Amino acid sequence: MAMHEPYDLLIRRATLFDGTGSARHVADVAVRDGRIATISAEPLPVDSAKRVIEADGLWLTPGIIDIHTHYDAELLLAPGLQESVRHGVTTCMVGSCSISMIYCDAEDASDIFTRVESIPREFVLPALRRIKTWNDASGYIAHLKSLPLGPNIASYMGHSDLRTAVMGLARAVDPKEKPTEAEMQAMERHLNEGIDQGLLGLSGMTNPWDKVDGDRYRSAALPSVYAHWREYRRLHRLLRRRGAILQSAPNLNNPINAVFYLFTSAGLAMRRSLKTTLITLMDVKARPGLDRIVSAGTGFFNRWLGANFRWQALPQPFQVYADGIDFIIFEEFPAGEAALHLKRDFDRNKLFADPDYRARFKAEYQRKWGGRVWHRDFGDAHVIACPDASLVGKTVKQIADERGEHEVNTFLDLVIDYGRSLRWSTLIANHNPARVAANLNKDCAIIGFSDAGAHLRNMAFYNFGICMLQLAAQDRPIMTPEKAVWRLTGEIADWYGIDAGKILQGARADMVLIDPDALRAADVGEYAEARFDELGGLLRVVNRNDGVVKTVIINGNLAFENDQPASGLGTASVFGRFLPRTGHAQQ
């Protein structure tokens, strides 16, 4: 290429954070053919580029990497993934928590995805039946490459997907069934081929709260939950040999199984360590102090037993919302699970009115032992929308006290009266800023767990990167901005082995321009909703921090600018690419 050929893009006089943790400095950054062509401490001439962005006073960082999403369905419907891109995310990982859309047929793929991720089945299943023509990793990746992607995409292979495709969904969710030797070999072969194609590795699930949708096997746990450790060990052995990654979730009814994952990751001075990442390191109201124990134990395994283990950590309060009883926290106990098993409001309301059911619900609500994430306190459950405006702003407990009733009876009465029109919110975890800061600084933490693309009416952490940077830009920062940028970008890229996360000469031109003054002033917890037209106009919870992210650049192309998407984002123009693990050439 001739040296005099103009750059495609020139960013002038930005405060550059390169994603390595090195000190920030003012520089010009020039882009050509989707890559960083030049980084210059001296100003480059404005006539050296086709497009120039004056960035004096702005931060230029690598694009943020979101390590935990459930965008698998949204990719098929709206591949621009605008809610993430607008907040500076340029790479997303899909196929988390044992759920991918690689091997299963359309109905199986829908049923192991929609209920647990709270995405309407009536939209996902028809889309899969219309679109899904592949049944292996190469076909899935080819489909990803055909889409007008917004961000770059890296993917796991989901164990529930894999297990269902090999065993059939009926046997995969039958606790009495085990895969035959031929079926185990088929799973190993598929996993090996997927790693050859550039998949990150395997995602699993051991928490039984996540349930299957549809009518055939409704309320069974996800297929991965039914696997025995012998099955896990064989698949983990393959991951270890290939240097791939294991992602999973512990059994919250028996959290001690997290220790098995620690031993799985550990090299124990006689084998290669297995990169393992679990959800999640948070200060949970229901289990105060557990995060301290978890991080201390993980630190011991990583330092002394040769583990390479990371807990995914979220840098903001874990505020959640629910329409009536439609939320995964009610899967934690049998009475809640029984309600969510029923599809029709008539059947649910009949159940809620039953005195025996109410007594069972109340007993399980009050139980303090056993696995749980929700702290089960209707005194910390604020009504934020209701046809009866007099209830808005009150807690369920306050309403119960006014009525002279137990809060469980009041909650069930409200759901009978208003159904999904009763919208309420509670703060489950990360309520103590000091504990959040401590966890984000742990070596055993890796920043992420946005769950983007799932629980659309229940939560929104699309702006997790902005929250992290704000914590580093405040008057009493939890870490330096350089470290915060590294934790969101370069550290993740190195650990996962993907071509992203750094602004270095020759690197991919995935970058974000941020206004640091707007960042400091932003209300990162402000509630907002937006229509999701591809899901019938569903109003999903989103984040809006307008003015903070000035420009998002993906593969050298402007994807978002001044809070507006580029023309063609998600429809006609291709911004993102499929990102294989390092060592796998992209086609």
Tell me: the pLDDT tens digits for 469-514?
999 999 999 999 999 999 999 999 999 999 999 999 999 999 999 9
**Domain residue limits, the chain:** 1-63+501-587, 321-429
Whether the pLDDT of residue 14 is over 80: the answer is yes
494: how many CB neighbours lie within 10 A of its CB? 16
CA distance 468 to 472: 7
pLDDT at 254: 82
Q: Is the dihedral of CA 331, 337, 342, 346 positive or negative?
A: negative
CA distance 168 to 30: 52
CA distance 562 to 86: 9
Question: CA of 261: how far to CAs of 234, 331, 413, 519, 579, in Å?
Answer: 14, 24, 42, 38, 26
Q: Work out the average pLDDT over 534-557.
A: 97
Beta strands in 515-571, from DSSP E residues, in sequence order: 528-532, 538-542, 549-554, 557-561, 564-565
What DSSP string runs through 425-442?
A: EEEEE---HHHHHHHHT-
Q: Work out the average pLDDT over 397-406.
A: 98
Q: Options 3.90.79.10, 3.40.50.620, 1.10.1740.10, 2.30.40.10; which CATH number does 1-63+501-587 get?
A: 2.30.40.10
Q: Which helix (H) or strand (E) holds 358?
A: helix 355-366
Whether the pLDDT of residue 552 is over 70: the answer is yes
Two structure tokens written together for 24: 């920030």
| Under 8 Å between Cβ of 446 and 495 | yes
Q: What is the pLDDT of residues 423-462, one digit of tens each?
A: 999 999 999 999 999 999 999 999 999 999 999 999 999 9
Q: What is the pLDDT of residues 540-549, one digit of tens each?
A: 999 999 999 9
pLDDT at 576: 98
β-strand partners of 59: 15, 514
CA distance 73 to 57: 39
Cα 411 to the chain's mean position, in Å? 30
Q: Which helix (H) or strand (E) holds 232?
A: helix 229-242
pLDDT at 577: 97
CA distance 194 to 403: 58
pLDDT band at 321 (very low <50, low <70, confident <90, very high): very high
CA distance 324 to 46: 57
Q: How many CA atoms lie within 13 A of 191 on its CB side?
A: 32
pLDDT at 253: 83
Two structure tokens written together for 371: 């696995």
Q: What angle do CA 232, 236, 242 make, to 5 degrees?
A: 155
Whether the pLDDT of residue 3 is over 80: the answer is no
| Under 8 Å between Cβ of 570 and 81 | yes
Q: At what angle do helices 334-341 and 345-353 cross, to 10 degrees?
A: 150
pLDDT band at 122 (very low <50, low <70, confident <90, very high): very high
CA distance 81 to 75: 7
Q: What is the pLDDT of residues 75-95, one digit of tens each?
A: 999 999 999 999 999 999 999
Place of tokens 């309060």: 317
pLDDT at 584: 45
pLDDT band at 561 (very low <50, low <70, confident <90, very high): very high
Q: What is the pLDDT of residues 21-72, one digit of tens each?
A: 999 999 999 999 999 999 999 999 999 999 999 999 999 999 999 999 999 9
The DSSP symbol for 396 reads H
Q: What percent of the chain has pLDDT over 90?
A: 96
What DSSP string runs through 81-110?
A: -HHHHTTTEEEEEES-TT--SSSS-HHHHH
CA distance 539 to 525: 18
H helices present in 446-579, as ranges: 464-473, 481-488, 490-496, 516-521
Cα 80 to the chain's mean position, in Å? 16
Whether the pLDDT of residue 319 is over 80: the answer is yes
Average model confidence (pLDDT) across the chain: 96
CA distance 131 to 119: 17
pLDDT at 4: 66
- Specify the range with the lowest mean pLDDT, choosing from 301-310, 331-340, 364-373: 364-373
Question: CA of 549: how far to CAs of 63, 64, 133, 183, 560, in Å?
Answer: 11, 12, 37, 48, 9
Question: pTM for the full model?
Answer: 0.96
What DSSP string runs through 166-189?
A: HH-HHHHT-TT----HHHHHHHHH
pLDDT at 282: 96
Q: What angle do CA 253, 201, 279 make, to 5 degrees?
A: 30
Q: What is the pLDDT of residues 219-270, one digit of tens each?
A: 999 999 999 999 999 999 999 999 999 999 999 888 788 999 999 999 999 9
